[in-house]
Amino acid sequence: MEALVKEDIQILKRIQANLESCILGKTDEIKLLLTAMLAGGHVLLEDVPGTGKTVLIKSLAKSIHGQFRRIQCNPDLLPTDITGVSIYHPKDEVFVFRPGPVMTHILLADEINRATTKTQSALLEAMEEGHITVDGETHQLPKPFLLLATQNPIDFEGTYTLPEAQLDRFMMKFSLGYPDEATETRMIISQSVIHPLENLQPVADVEHILEIQQRAKHVHLDDAVASYLVAVTRQTREHASIFLGASPRATLALVQASKAYALIQERDYVIPDDIKFLAPFVLGHRIILQAEARMDGATVQSVLQSVFQQVRVPVRMEK
């Protein structure tokens, strides 16, 4: 494993500082977003309106000087409104592909659960394969490509629940939540004249991000830590309170996220605490509890805590 590049760490710190200037008091959530970006994963933000989801995503796009597109999902949205469409030109007698908003670096799918299941499925190929197929022709997406989807957990009217197959393609799911009183006071003072997003300057470019993504893949994962990680995901399939456990895709996602998070923490190796911190956000939305467990008051978080208590933590690792 090559030594950590100081320039990479400085770039990540500058991006984090940029985001923290726009979204106050959400350091952990910002690190989760950066982790998903470095790991090449996608994020589902589930939160009530007005907590800063869109501002956070716009800040990230602006910080890395990446292309940004936004889709406002609703029942009338068609798959071609996302992927694009081939238009026939009578003069040249050819079909010309007109790309949709998915051809970008950072795509915000706002209120994704308001789109129909057919439209939601149009994103699956892009999320998993990094390309789209329109009229039998494959079109590669720009790199890096990061889908950030939002959904409102309170409003159920006119919504379409995301199926498990699509949830499994999101590397992480988390919420921003309300700020505390002191942070909200700082927010109204700092944003009373001008929003920080308006003066935000790029501190990196997409080429830097691609290089750091490659570096994150080479972060060391000790055999003992790898066995610990696998034991955790396998235990979710055997736990008495869990109806559906984490998939092998979830195991791979947790590996990639742990490596990226270790890099953000300025380490070139993964430790068990990385896995413990990330597991609720990487595994939580992939787990379905037994009906009896839910009736007894169990939650995904409490069951995951039980899972970790049943898996032995490695005490010795080789760096």
Q: Which residues contact 93 (CB under 8 A, 6 or more apart)?
A: none
Q: Residue 158 — very low, low, confident or very high, per pLDDT cuts 50/70/90?
A: low
CATH of 6-211, one of 3.40.50.300, 2.30.38.10, 3.40.630.30, 3.60.15.10: 3.40.50.300
Calculate mean pLDDT across residues 52-60. Answer: 90
Q: Say yes or no to pLDDT of 157 above 80.
A: no
Q: Which pLDDT score, from 0 to 100, does residue 49 have? A: 81
Q: Which pLDDT score, from 0 to 100, does residue 318 have? A: 52
Fold classification of 219-310 is: Helicase, Ruva Protein; domain 3 (1.10.8)
Q: Which pLDDT score, from 0 to 100, does residue 134 have? A: 84
Q: Which pLDDT score, from 0 to 100, does residue 1 have? A: 43
Q: What is the pLDDT of residues 1-28, one digit of tens each?
A: 455 678 888 999 999 999 998 888 899 9
Q: What is the pLDDT of residues 257-284, one digit of tens each?
A: 999 999 999 998 999 999 999 999 999 9
Q: What is the pLDDT of residues 192-245, one digit of tens each?
A: 777 888 888 999 999 999 999 999 999 999 999 999 999 999 999 999 899 988
Q: What is the pLDDT of residues 123-139, one digit of tens each?
A: 888 888 888 888 888 88
In this prediction the pTM is 0.90
Q: Say yes or no to pLDDT of 183 above 80.
A: yes
Calculate mean pLDDT across residues 45-54. Answer: 85
- What are the boundaries of each domain within the chain? 6-211, 219-310
Q: Kindly report the backbone phi and psi dihedral angles of residue 101, in degrees, each rounded to the nearest multiple of 5, phi listed first.
A: -65, -15
Q: Which pLDDT score, from 0 to 100, does residue 118 have? A: 84
Calculate mean pLDDT across residues 59-71. Answer: 93
Q: Kindly report the backbone phi and psi dihedral angles of residue 213, in degrees, each rounded to the nearest multiple of 5, phi listed first.
A: -60, -40
Which residue has better confidence, 166 or 287? 287
